Amino acid sequence: VIGVGAFARLAQVSVRTLHHYDEVGLLRPAHVDADTGYRWYTAEQLHRLNRVLALRDLGFPLAEIRDIVDDRVSLDELRGMLRLRRAESRERVAAETERLARVEARLRQIEMEDRPPEYDVVVKRVEPALVAARDGTAPSFGDPIGPLLGRLYAEVHDELARLGVGVTGPEIALYDDTGGAGTPIRVTAAVPVDDPGPFAGASGAVALRDLTGIGRAASTIHRGPMARVGDGYQALLLWTEATGERIEGLGREVYLECSGPQDTWVTELQLALAPRREA
Amino acid sequence: VIGVGAFARLAQVSVRTLHHYDEVGLLRPAHVDADTGYRWYTAEQLHRLNRVLALRDLGFPLAEIRDIVDDRVSLDELRGMLRLRRAESRERVAAETERLARVEARLRQIEMEDRPPEYDVVVKRVEPALVAARDGTAPSFGDPIGPLLGRLYAEVHDELARLGVGVTGPEIALYDDTGGAGTPIRVTAAVPVDDPGPFAGASGAVALRDLTGIGRAASTIHRGPMARVGDGYQALLLWTEATGERIEGLGREVYLECSGPQDTWVTELQLALAPRREA
DNA sequence: TTGCTCCTCACGTCACGTGAGGTGGC
DNA sequence: TTGCTCCTCACGTCACGTGAGGTGGC
């Protein structure tokens, strides 16, 4: 029978921790003085505490630890809990390893460029959307694509106005350059819409389409004229290189703000990433 | 200018998150309606939000993110913060990887033995202590060491009683078998004491000694007679094997409870571990 | 009487999640 | 009038850390 201080020193935990374990019923003292409230522990309880600490070291929450040390879980259940813990732990290792890669990429970048980065890359999901779309073809990325896109969007909006269909989000442009260098680029001008009803009677080049979502997209925000959007794409490419990510499929632009002069435009650039490599 | 819901959908964050960022001053809406309290955001703010999310992905706390996006840190400071983050992230990867190894070891053990483990191994620090100690030699681990230890402890306690020195903790036994198989084992019986004063005039085999601490010790609790303490040591050895730890130096036993018959004894077994392998 | 150990509240942590209860414009 | 979006509290999360303020035995 020893006091809480000595017991804590023996087990290398804080007195507060023992108070807490008493509170949540994880380790009740062998005896509590009715008058003073002093807690008294036995050597036998050090065994229980050791079991608790061993499970805590494995990452189990206290509630589960209580079930285990109180023998409320069968051997099979314990096995299951351990497998779950293993999966969680692996997930954490993977996530933190990727995070570390991003930190290191950022650090290398800042040391190379010697100034804070202008583009911040975020990995996000892109939800699927229902769009009215019009396809076109541009000779290459070298030529300005703006006028072409402008014509395509004009057609889409004309058609939407004619059908009386409502727009539900900013315009989206899709690029498909999988043909290789020198080949023409397929460009799509898309506008999110909500109600597909009136399209039943639609005809012509403007068509309703289910725009697929992207599980993991590298995204960044470009501010300013589209003539300099290349800076943004370059930042995205450098980022994928530095973090070891791989690009998959086509790129998208979302025109978040394009009402005033191009100096004030805000565009989101998205590149689809290959699924996460598992450890 | 778009509402909080549309803004949240664009950036793939929750509305609550935007409320929170407003609260802590990380991202104030471009405009808040004085009557309704409605928050209105601009495309420009999506750029700021993207910066915030990018830094959040790197693991920075919101307070630091605010300093960064508000340009309150210099480039050098930013570099320093990134290096710190890198160090923290590495530390987390290492810690979680070790935890994973412990979980897997436990899982393998439970699958081999098909019953919950009897011994729980915990890694802990052992504090240095001032002890009165008496050395002895045992022929090997095969022979019972109990009687020898009993004689040594009797001598120590006699001397302490003679000098009037107080005991401050449970008895500790040290074993040194680094001589190899077949060679005799050095055994030390130690008793923690507080006041070294009276020892000034001490002489003979019982000596005052500074017992060194152990940075990382694998520890487990053995309950029952010392004749079966081998089970506990075997559990410790299996654990070190399974987790890839390496034993270093000598072993210790702490007699937490040894007043009644040996069936009721509680003994802590400690083995010093090699310093943590860095990633 | 001074130290020492111990006690019980009770707030803080970190970044939101999750209702509860209510309001304003189409 | 019914939906829809939005609002403001305010508690909960997880395992304790950290005072504040006070008591009992040597």
pLDDT in tens, B180-190: 667 788 899 99
pLDDT of residue B203 exceeding 70: no
Taking residues A250-272, report their average pLDDT. Answer: 92
The B residues from 108 to 127 touching A (CB cutoff 8 Å) are 110-111, 114-116, 120-125, 127
Please give the structure tokens belonging to residue A277.
């490599």
Q: What is the pTM of this model?
A: 0.86
Residue A250: its pLDDT value, please? 79
- Percent residues over pLDDT 70 in chain A: 94
**Cβ atoms within 10 Å, residue B5:** 11
Q: What does the alpha-carbon distance between residue B156 and residue B117 come to, in Å, rounded to a whole number?
A: 36
Give the residue carrying structure tokens 């599980």: A215
Taking residues A201-217, report their average pLDDT. Answer: 83
Give the angle subtended at the CA of B248 by the CAs of B247 and B254, to the nearest 5°: 85
| Residue A207 pLDDT level (bands cut at 50, 70, 90) | confident
Q: What does the alpha-carbon distance between residue A273 and residue A277 come to, in Å, rounded to a whole number?
A: 11
Q: Is residue A89 less than 8 Å (CB to CB) from chain B? A: yes
State whether the beta carbon of B37 lies below 7 angstroms from any atom of strand D.
yes
Which of A143-152, B28-37, B77-86, B219-228 shows the lowest mean pLDDT across its residues? A143-152
The number of residues in chain A equals 279
Nearest CA in chain B to A264: B44
Mean pLDDT of chain B: 90
Greatest mean pLDDT among A231-240, B157-166, B194-203 lies in A231-240
Q: Which residues make beta-bridge pairs with B220?
A: B269
pLDDT of residue B279 exceeding 50: no
Instruction: Judge contact between A26 and A66, C-beta under 8 A.
Output: yes
Q: What does the alpha-carbon distance between residue A268 and residue A79 come to, in Å, rounded to a whole number?
A: 47
Q: Is residue B59 less than 8 Å (CB to CB) from chain A? A: yes
Q: Is residue B161 less than 8 Å (CB to CB) from chain A? A: no
Question: Which chain B residues contact residue A214 at CB under 8 A?
Answer: none
Residue B276: its pLDDT value, please? 75
Q: What does the alpha-carbon distance between residue B59 and residue B85 come to, in Å, rounded to a whole number?
A: 7
Please give the structure tokens belonging to residue A64.
């589960």
Instruction: Judge contact between A70 and A78, C-beta under 8 A.
Output: no
Instruction: Judge contact between A222 and A173, C-beta under 8 A.
Output: no
Please give the structure tokens belonging to residue B31.
């405009």
Count CB pairs under 8 A between chains A and B. Answer: 151
Residue A45: its pLDDT value, please? 94
